Structure 1
Amino acid sequence: MSIRHGLLALLDQGPRYGYQLRAEFEARTGATWPLNVGQVYTTLGRLERDGLVVPAGEDEEGHQFYAVTDEGRAELRNWFDTPVSRTNPPRDELAIKLAMAVTVPGVDVPAVVQSQRRHSIKALQDYTRLKGRALAGESAPQAGRQEGSDLAWLLVLDQLIFQAEAEVRWLDHCETRLAQHAEARAKQPAPPQAPGAAGPLPGEGPAPARAGRRGFRA
């Protein structure tokens, strides 16, 4: 998630201070990726260091405003024009968990998959309900709402729904692959026994019992 460019996009519409930026960022994304004020001001400090924003005065309450520079606008336009790279995908905790689970003895991998599927399906249902409410709100816009904020929230919800649907399909695929792997292993011939591990040869009697310090052991 690019907080940096998200803040630049907000500042492109006019000077704002930290709390305003946090509130508008969360309003436009439905608080899907909540920010704390510390993150906002840390990012603003880096943007100022890089010459992308500058301080733009204070209000009567002492709020420090920031404004975007020409370099900041150029950075923002470049961000909008450049596709999001998939060459270095972000770490996915679920994929890492399953990759580890299949290599660690004693883990019930099918149970891990089933548990995650239940969670993902519930998330999908929740997102779908939120989308229904958002669509109802879009048909009756509220006074004071930022122009386009309902559409922005719907786009985020659509992405979350598609992502949850894809995750459920992937988990179904994982379950099928696990079953195929288990079936293939069951069909493999048993490994040969090590020398000396076989029982007595035909015609030979059982091995004699050995005497221990406290009597005989079978």
Structure 2
Amino acid sequence: MSIRHGLLALLDQGPRYGYQLRTEFEARTGATWPLNVGQVYTTLGRLERDGLVAPHGEDEEGHVYYAVTDAGRTELRSWFDSPVLRTTPPRDELAIKLAMAVTVPGVDVTGVVQGQRRHSMKALQDYTRLKGQAIAADAGRQEDLAWLLVLEQLIFQTEAEIRWLDHCESRLVQRAAEPPEPPGATEAPAKPKRRRSLL
């Protein structure tokens, strides 16, 4: 998640202070990725350091407003115009958990898969219910569309996760059906391999 670029996108619409940015970010994403105000101000500090935003006065309550600079607008347009790269995928806790589970003796990997599937199915039901509510409440505002798009991404992602879990369970059944290796067939441990490239 790019908080940096999300804040630039909000500031591109006019100067705002930290709490306003936090509120608007969460409104547009349905608070799917909550921010705390400290995180917002830390990011604003970095954006200011990099010349992408600048202070833009204060209100009577002492809130410091920030405005996007020309360099910030250029950075934002570059972000919108560039695809999200998949060369270094984010760490996925579920994939790591299953990769470890199949290599640690005594772990009920099938139980891990089934427990996660139950959780993911419930999450899918919750997201689908929220989508129905979002469609019913849609007043034609861009913020309504933004929240709907986030919900649909969560639905598609969870559906894909459930399909992957089904696939994992099939792999486990297939592996369990394979004949055991004959005694003495185990080779010496291989040397550690270099990181595998996904692309």
| TM-score of the superposed pair, with normalisation by structure 1 | 0.83
Match of 1:60, SS state, is coil
Percent identity, please: 80
Matched, 1:124 2:127: no
Greater RCO (CA < 8 Å, at least 6 residues apart): 2
Distance of 1:188 and 1:5 partners within structure 2:
53
RMSD of aligned residue pairs (Cα, Å): 1.0
Q: Which amino acid aligns with 2:158?
A: A
Match of 1:98, SS state, is helix
Encode CA deviations 1:30-83: one digit per residue, 9 max, x unaligned: 000000000000000000000000000000111000000000000000000000
Distance of 2:106 and 2:41 partners within structure 1:
46
What displacement does 1:131 show?
0.1
Match of 2:51, SS state, is coil
Aligned counterpart, 2:110: 110
Aligned counterpart, 2:11: 11
When Rg is computed on C-alpha atoms for both structures, the one with the higher figure is 1
Matched, 1:182 2:166: no
Q: Which runs of 5+ in 2 are unaligned?
A: 185-199
What displacement does 1:174 show?
0.0
What displacement does 1:191 show?
1.9
Encode CA deviations 1:83-120: one digit per residue, 9 max, x unaligned: 00001000000000000000001000000000000000
Q: Which runs of 5+ in 1 are unaligned?
A: 142-146, 193-218
What displacement does 1:188 show?
3.2
Aligned counterpart, 1:101: 101
Distance of 2:155 and 2:177 partners within structure 1:
33
| TM-score of the superposed pair, with normalisation by structure 2 | 0.91
Encode CA deviations 1:154-178: one digit per residue, 9 max, x unaligned: 0000000000000000000000000
What number of residue pairs does the alignment pair up? Answer: 184
User: 4+ residue runs of structure 1 moved beyond 4 angstroms?
Assistant: none
Matched, 1:191 2:183: yes
Aligned counterpart, 1:30: 30
Q: Which amino acid aligns with 2:172?
A: L
